[in-house]
Amino acid sequence: MLKGKKILLGVTGSIAAYKAAFLVRLLIKAGADVQVIMTEAAKGFITPLTLATLSRHPVLTSFTNSETGSWNNHVELGLWADAIIIAPATAKTISGFATGYSDDLLTAVYLSARCPVFIAPAMDLDMYRHPSTKNNIDTLAGYGNIFINPGFGELASGLIGDGRLAEPEVILTTLEKHFSVKSTALGKRVLITAGPTVEPLDPVRFISNRSSGKMGYALARAFAYAGAQVTLISGPVDLTIADINLHIIQVETAEQMLTAVQHYFEGSDLIIFAAAVADYTPRYVASQKIKKSMPEMELELKKTADIAGTMGKIKKDHQLVIGFALETENEKENAADKLARKNFDYIVLNSLNDSGAGFAHDTNKISVIDKKLNIQEFSLKSKKEVADDILEIILKKWSES
């Protein structure tokens, strides 16, 4: 899976840096082209000569080469790589990535990268457990970076716990799995809706809901990283995402979302309706701000278009459609009914009765129901992990067809 892949390995200042030599050997044996970037601190634990010999490329440690006067172009390096691995990743480097504080070549390359980034932390137990480290890791995971969890065992301090750099074989397997998944999704066209819609009352007020868009954006990131060409139609959210395989269309109202979906639907292999579309919109929209002049105000509403139901009627046999159902009672019965009515292939059920699920959370707990009413239930996970679970279901379906 790694033959011919361009892998950039970032090595930072941890006692575990010696494991980078073993990782480079494994990557080379797997057929990868490996370029190593070291921080200054890393040079105190393993020499650049060792990693240069094993990788068959000069190791880069700074923006310029003082001997030749040449410039190590961080933008070109970031665009060159098919994947970046940071192993070991110290608390300092993770903090720099999370905040965008670019004081070395490695961080500048990371900020320029458009490929998947795998981060393998290595630090002492208390550093790993510290809230600032956890916040930085959560931030980077939210950006779509892939964390390879540290191992449990004796640490350099003598403490026992999490913080050991994952073994090189584990890192290699994680990378191979990523590229094996990517081959299945490569060339597939995926359409995803995300976030709320806003239905205006007047120039300053609107009707909406509590959807944050996090689930839809996590799905867009997962499928884009897997190699699919993703079109994300997004309502107003406070989220950002960037990927070479991703095209984002911003909309506000249910009507605008319907128009955008209709434009891209026919050319899509997979459609995921993750947006929380408003069920009703004001019948009349005031052209000027409504004044607070009356003790009461009646608001007349009309139904919005049923986007998922409308598109379900014209779905072709080769297309897969996934819908979402957020329920508060009779969850599975209501989800199964919606699955049939809207001609979905799968429906993702989450319940507001489950702590940590639903709108605004960074986590979700789902059940996935297919047309034959088979149910796969998943535990509470981060929305990134939930997106990966849904991705795996679709990749399996594609591989069988």
Binding residues: 279, 289, 324, 338, 342
Beta strands at 301-303 and 280-282: parallel, antiparallel or unpaired: antiparallel
Element (H, E) at 25: helix 19-29
209 a catalytic residue: yes
Phi, psi of 339 (to 5 degrees): -55, -45
* Distances from the Cα of 47 to the Cα of 32, 50, 70, 231, 262, angstroms: 21, 5, 21, 45, 57
Per the rule left: phi > 0, alpha: psi between -120 and 50, beta: everything else, 154 is beta
Residue list for the binding site for CTP: 279, 289, 324, 338, 342
Q: How far apart, in whole angstroms, are the C-alpha atoms of residue 182 and residue 187?
A: 10
Whether residue 15 contacts residue 45, with contact meaning beta carbons closer than 8 Å, is answered with yes
Q: List, in sequence order, every residue forming a beta bridge with 382; answer none if it has no partner.
A: 363
| Six-digit token string for 194 | 């995300």
If we measure between CA atoms, which residue out of 157, 86, 90, 81 comes closest to residue 123? 90
Catalytic residue among 72, 209, 334, 343: 209
Residues assigned a catalytic role: 209
